[in-house]
């Protein structure tokens, strides 16, 4: 089984920063100038996570999960990695599986975008399609069923502490450094909750006054792919509801509108959950400006729009 060290040394002429794994993390922090233009004293900043090699924030958690499983010899030669995913985590697993020579089986709702399906096929991952009406919960149930077979290492991103630790050690630290500690508010969507949990824990240690705000869909039936409506979904074991100072709910239509606005005013083509995060950040910014307060609001843009361009809302 390949290890991180082997992955680096096996590449002829390899130098620091030149391998696939070295390119994960340290993503840019982008200032949304026009979105916040009418909010005096308020800055809205966003982590451009599509610059990771797999195209999303999920690269961070997946590399941590895989390397920890190898370290503990849970992912051994001859075993397949198994997990449930709504898309981006699966792509990250498939990418690393191809790069590090382990097979990957994914359970995924069959209504994910055509772009996601093509990417997974290109990487050579095995996909078990599940009922779209059951969303990611159906994929989780199927993965749990398959995990009884010992050929699999069930990574279980929803319960794996390596998920949130990747963001505690990486994303959270980067945000503190990139804002020079000036961040006042942090907002992230809830899917596995790994990003929100890890970053919030790091930020609260640095400054307990930073307000950490979780964002989720406003109903069980939504179009915010990758996010969970926690009140009606299988709640991830790594989720800690006590971390959030408050929760903001975002409507699917608001996310669609913001995705088009970001494309046409900021020149940023982002995914639907990213647009929802910006919509939530804008609401918090409007509150702060209305109260005459200054704020440095940071959010996460989990991916770009390349996996969503077949969605009809772009044409509407």
Tens digit of pLDDT for each residue in 82-126?
Answer: 999 989 999 999 999 999 999 999 999 998 889 999 999 999 999
Q: What is the CA radius of gyration of the chain?
A: 19
Active site residues: 58, 273
Given a cut of 50, is residue 9 above it in pLDDT?
Answer: no
Largest CA distance in the chain: 60
If asked whether residues 37 and 76 sit together in one domain, one would say: no
Q: What are 150-197's pLDDT values in tens digits? A: 889 999 999 999 999 999 999 999 999 999 999 999 999 999 999 999
Number of domains present in the structure of the chain: 2
Q: Give the Cα separation of 205 and 219 in Å (integer).
A: 32
Given a cut of 80, is residue 14 above it in pLDDT?
Answer: no
Q: Residue 149 — φ and ψ, nearest 5°? A: -80, 125
pLDDT value of position 16: 53
Domain range enclosing 281: 9-51+171-314
Contact between residue 91 and residue 17 where contact means Cβ atoms under 8 Å apart: no
If asked whether residues 176 and 46 sit together in one domain, one would say: yes
Q: Residue 107 — φ and ψ, nearest 5°? A: -105, 130
Instruction: Give the count of beta carbons closer than 10 Å to the beta carbon of residue 91.
Output: 26
Q: Which of 154, 179, 212 is the endpoint of a domain?
A: 154
Residue 160 inside a domain? The answer is: no
């Amino acid at each position: 089984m390949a290890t991180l060290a082997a992955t680096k040394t096996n590449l002829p002429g390899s130098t620091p920063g030149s391998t696939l794994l070295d390119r994960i993390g340290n993503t840019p922090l982008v200032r949304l100038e026009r979105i916040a233009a009418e909010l005096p004293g308020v800055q809205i900043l966003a982590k451009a996570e599509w610059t990771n090699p797999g195209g999303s924030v999920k690269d961070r958690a997946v590399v941590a999960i895989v390397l920890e499983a190898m370290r503990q010899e849970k992912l051994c030669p001859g075993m397949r990695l198994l997990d449930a995913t709504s898309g981006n985590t699966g792509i990250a697993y498939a990418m690393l599986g191809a790069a590090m020579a382990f097979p990957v089986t994914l359970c995924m709702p069959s209504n994910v975008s055509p772009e996601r399906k093509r990417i997974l096929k290109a990487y050579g991952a095995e996909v078990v399609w599940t009922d779209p009406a059951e969303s990611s919960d159906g994929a989780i149930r199927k993965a749990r069923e398959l995990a009884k077979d010992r050929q699999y290492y069930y990574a279980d991103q929803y319960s794996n502490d390596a998920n949130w630790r990747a963001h505690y050690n990486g994303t959270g630290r980067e945000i503190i450094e990139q804002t020079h500690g000036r961040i006042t508010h942090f907002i992230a969507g809830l899917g596995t909750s790994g990003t929100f949990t890890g970053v919030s824990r790091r930020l609260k240690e640095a400054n307990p006054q930073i307000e950490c705000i979780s964002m989720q869909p406003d109903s069980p039936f939504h179009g915010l792919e990758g996010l969970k409506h926690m009140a009606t979904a299988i709640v991830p074991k790594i989720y800690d509801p006590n971390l959030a100072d408050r929760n903001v709910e975002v409507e699917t239509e608001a996310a669609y509108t913001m995705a088009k606005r970001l494309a046409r005013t900021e020149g940023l083509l982002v995914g639907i959950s990213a647009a929802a995060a910006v919509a939530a950040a804008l609401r918090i910014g409007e509150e702060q400006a209305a109260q005459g307060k200054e704020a440095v609001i940071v959010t996460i843009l989990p991916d770009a729009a390349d996996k969503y361009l077949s969605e009809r809302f772009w044409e509407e």
